[in-house]
Each structure stands twice: as structure tokens, then as C-alpha cells.
Structure 1
């Protein structure tokens, strides 16, 4: 009988298995009654899944308008520039304007379907390199399995909107992962990405607090700056410089949401020369100033 070297791990097989390490991090999950949803040129460093129970919602990306169907889920990858609106109450042509309230069991959904948008959303991250896929709006058919999960989530959100139990967390994660399995393989080409690009992505992630030059980045994989810049752009559909800026702003958003650091402290900790340079980059990526994002008054 052949004994596996991995028997200490409880695996009797000698066949090595290579799994993809997906680090799903939940950021929020809400069920709202929206009266106004005029949001323009939003760009944020996390994934979104949207679902509207009734018609009237629209998403815009790259000059394409996508009417939102109650039988569909809508996935928006990180750093996708998009806009949204509720067609029955469309007022603003610029900026981010949202009014509404948390749906509870005390609110009759049916009586509000004509005048409001019944809107479910969840935000999350998947970790490097899966937070760096091609920007787009992806439509996914609401299968019976997803519909069952969605019904559970929305009913629970009407009861509890803050301190979630383990069952809710597990079912939300299952809902997100099942939704993502319906994305076409072209979106997940990062799995087969050139090893040199993956090495640099990990290097950037570990050194996001430093000022990184193209020469220093290319040296990580022993390539000339111009040659690596071309390789990176081909693999990631984004320049090295813009990728680093996006990762720094993603980290800044995380710090604003999970620390008490000031804007000056965040700018310094991420290697920016001063607050003003940081603010310019932050607004160019997200469309918001750091002060507005930090205040949370954009939603």
C-alpha cells in the first residue's frame, strides 16, 4: 500500500491538487426602496451585484443603456465607470443623487412598485488578481437557485439590516459565488495570466504604500521598462501606471471605511507627495473627492 506524504492533512492521495485562492470579502448588502437613483460616472474599487424587483431602472456604460429586467442580475466589476437612473423620477444629469429608505416588513412593497424602485445590492471584493478584470456591465439570468437565495436574502434584510448571523453570511456568499459562476470565461483570463504580470501584481499589492516607478516594476521580472509596459497592457487592458493608481485608491477607500485616518494620513501612507496630489488622483479614479467619499454622503 502506498502512503501519501499528505496523510497529515487527511488526504490519502499522492495526486497534487491546485486550487484557486478566492478571497471573498463582503462589504455591504442592502434592500432599499429608491425614489431617486440619479448616479453619474461612478467608479469604485469593488464588485457590485444589482437586482431590481420591478422595472424602471437603467444602467449606462460606454454609451450603452441597459434597461434592468426583474428576471436578470447585473454584475459590475471594480473600476467600471457607469451611471444609473430610475426612469420615473429622473432629475439630475450630473453628480450622484440617491434618496430612499431601508425596506422593512412594515412597508408594503406592492403598493410602492409604481412610484419607487425596489432595489437589492451587494458590494464585495475577490482579492488580487480577480479585482482587476475588464470593466463592463454583465447581465446574468436569474435561475431558480439564485431566485431562491435572493428571496431568502431580501426577506432577512427586511428583518435584520446590521448584525447578521452565520447562516445569512454563508447564504450571501453562496449567492455571490453562484452568480459569478455564470460569467463567461473571457472575464476570468487572469487565471491564465502571464506569470511575470502576476508577480508584479503581487509586488504592487505588497508595496502599495510606496512610490513605484516603471523601471522598478519592470526590474521585478528582469525586463526592460517599455517591454514590460507593453506586456502588462496586453494582459490587463490597463497601463502599469493606471493599475498602480487604481490599487492605491482601492486601498484608500478601504482605509476610509475601516479606519479613522485623516485624508492627509491616508495620502502619506500611500506614498503621495501631498493631500492635493492624492485628491486629484482620487477624483480622477472615483469621480468623487476624498472628503465626499469619506463622509459617505454620496449614497
Structure 2
């Protein structure tokens, strides 16, 4: 007779219960561009960004501090960080915002671009979900390493080829983001364990943001009074239930703007807004520009 090991022992022989935090990196865009103009007075947006330039000449101004983009530094910026940008390839200072550029192609070289007073610019936009999307504002200049540089070269190569990102291309982007976040360990201090009732409500919103969601409905799922649950939610997250719902709708709208051909009316409907007017109103409040302007210029933001 053969002695069999219990299935649960085969799966995990330890009786110690472990809890793991979900890591959810949601990519909005990853592009490699040639910058001709980059004069912006406020680039505050509700998602994370990574910037990397090889050619010097781009400057970020944050809290009266100048941060130069160059091949020695990788820049990572939390959501809702207000800063301005400019190019130092010309002595002319404009009083108007201006963004211009185009995709870096296989026919381009960085040497040729530098001779024309233009810059190369890799940028990645992404979200991390709650609570990391509510990290304090800031701009972090990270030292370049051989591992990061290798990933950047592979990512830029994918962008230049203008092909769909496959699993391994996306993995490269996620690994680069992960390496950046590892260097922010002291900044991204561990958040307290969330009340399960709040977590369940957030998960419901994440999966049903396109539907009408009321405080009463979420409270009923937790067997709490509406006002009591609203106070619990705000205490745990720092924002109201309806503010969280709007944030998820805007986040998904951004994703559709980047990755679909749907018009703004369709996007408004798919993300749970009553009409395009209300969509534009909340979009502008969170992204600081209209959705039509964002769509027109998103490839350079």
C-alpha cells in the first residue's frame, strides 16, 4: 500500500498564515519621443510618471528647485505633483504653454537630434491603486544603474519598433517601475492595514465604476448605516466615497483615451458619467485640462 502525502501538505507544508499585499501596476502609456517644445506651467495629473532623457536640455522646476533631465538620472513623480517644465535648448522664454514633438523612429539617431536642438524623451504613465496613488507630492531623481539602463534600452527599442507590447515588453516596464519604487521605500512608508469592509467597498467600485453607485448601497453591503460607513471610508482612505468613485472613473477614462479609438461621448458613457458635459467637468478638475485637449496632446504629457 502506498502512503500518500495530504494534498494540503503538497501545496504548502507550513501552518503559518501569510498575508500579501496586492501589487497592481496599471500602465497607461509608454512612449519614446523627440521633444521640440516643452513649456508647461502645471503638469499635475492623477497618475505616476517616469521620465528619462539621454540628451541634456530639459528642465523640471518644482518648489523653486531646478531638476535637469539627463542620462545620469531617472525621474519618478507621484500623482498630483504640480511642477513646470521647459527646454534650455534656446534662450527664448515664452509666456505661453507649448508642447511639440513626434515619435522617435528607426530612422532617427540621438546624435542627429542633438544637432537640431531637440531632445529624446522616454515617459511612462501608470497607476498603483490605493493607497500608493495617494502618496505625497514630490519629484525624485534616482541614480541610474546598469540594470535600469539595460531595461530602458529594451523599452526604447520596443517603442521605436511601434509594435504592440507583448508580455515580456510589459514585464520590462513593470520591472523598471518596481526598481524605481524600491528606491522610494523611505518615502512610501507602509500604510496601515485597511478595514476589510472598506477594502471590499473599494473592490466593488473598481469593478463597477461604470454603474451608478450610492453611499447607501455600499453601506448596505457592510451592514452599516450610510453615515457611519461614509465616516469609516474617509478615515481609512482620506477621501470620500464619491471622490473615490470619480477617481476610478477618471483613471479608466485615461486608459480608454490612451488605448482605444472611442470618442469622448462613448468614453463618458463607458466610465459611468451621465454625459460628456459631466465627464469633461470632472476630468478637468482632476487632470487640469479638458479631455479633448488631453487627447490631442497626450502623446507628449
Q: Do the aligned partners of 2:55 and 2:114 also contact (CA within 8 Å) in 1?
A: no
CA distance in 2, matches of 1:297, 1:159: 18
Q: Could you tell me which residue of structure 2 aligns to residue 148 of structure 1?
A: 150
Q: Could you tell me which residue of structure 2 aligns to residue 286 of structure 1?
A: 287
Q: Could you tell me which residue of structure 2 aligns to residue 136 of structure 1?
A: 138
Q: Do the aligned partners of 2:31 and 2:124 also contact (CA within 8 Å) in 1?
A: yes
Question: Equivalent of 1:124, from 123, 126, 142?
Answer: 126
Q: Could you tell me which residue of structure 1 aligns to residue 258 of structure 2?
A: 257
Deviation at 1:112, TM superposition (A): 0.4
| Within-5 A mapping of 1:75-224 | 75-89=76-90, 92-93=94-95, 95=97, 97-102=99-104, 104=106, 106-109=108-111, 112=114, 115-127=117-129, 129-154=131-156, 156-157=157-158, 160-164=161-165, 167-187=168-188, 189-190=190-191, 192-223=193-224
Give the superposed CA RMSD. Answer: 3.5
Is there any run of 5+ residues in structure 2 with no aligned partner, and where? Answer: none
Q: Could you tell me which residue of structure 2 aligns to residue 68 of structure 1?
A: 68
Deviation at 1:231, TM superposition (A): 4.6
Is there any run of 5+ residues in structure 1 with no aligned partner, and where? Answer: none
| Within-5 A mapping of 1:228-247 | 228-247=229-248
With structure 1 as the length reference, what TM-score do the two structures score? 0.78
The change in CA–CA distance for 1:236 and 1:81 in structure 2 (over 3 A counts) is farther
Deviation at 1:255, TM superposition (A): 2.8
With structure 2 as the length reference, what TM-score do the two structures score? 0.78
Q: Do the aligned partners of 2:29 and 2:258 also contact (CA within 8 Å) in 1?
A: no
CA distance in 2, matches of 1:283, 1:83: 18
